[in-house]
């Protein structure tokens, strides 16, 4: 199999690599802001949207590399770091909160069909885990 240099890559691959690099750098900056400074509500909203955008960029990169790999074993062998970063991003509480925990808590208060989830939500451990 011939080796491919970076100049021979398709423009979509190059663009996704640039987005991935910018996403990692901006994600690191937002993480520092979120951890060490006390951001206001507008900045937190920007951070939540950036987390979701970063998740989309990583999902796009993982999907691209999955379809370019020869088989599943070689994909796992060469992309283990990307997969672990993707898991960390998915578990990130701010991304989970942006995607729907706020709406879920509204539904739990308003809908009778979710009464059993509401009781589970009020358990102290679960409430702390979701940042309540």
What are 85-121's pLDDT values in tens digits?
666 666 555 555 555 555 555 554 555 555 555 565 5
Torsion over CA: 60, 64, 67, 73 (sign): negative
Q: Tell me what pLDDT residue 21 has.
A: 77
pLDDT (tens digit per residue) in 41-76:
787 777 777 777 777 777 777 787 778 777 777 777
Interval 5-32 mean pLDDT: 73
pTM of the model: 0.49
Q: Tell me what pLDDT residue 116 has.
A: 57
């Amino acid at each position: 199999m011939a080796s491919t240099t970076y100049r021979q890559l398709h423009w979509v691959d190059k663009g996704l690599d640039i987005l991935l690099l910018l996403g990692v750098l901006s994600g690191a900056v937002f993480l520092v802001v979120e951890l060490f400074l006390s951001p206001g509500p507008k900045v937190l909203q920007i951070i939540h949207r950036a987390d979701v955008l970063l998740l989309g960029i990583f999902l796009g990169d993982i999907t691209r590399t999955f379809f370019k790999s020869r088989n599943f074993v070689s994909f796992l062998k060469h992309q283990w770091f990307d997969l672990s970063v993707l898991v960390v991003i998915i578990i990130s509480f701010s991304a989970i909160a942006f995607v729907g925990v706020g709406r879920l808590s509204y539904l739990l208060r308003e809908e009778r069909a979710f009464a059993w989830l509401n009781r589970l939500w009020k358990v102290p451990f679960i409430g702390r885990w979701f940042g309540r």
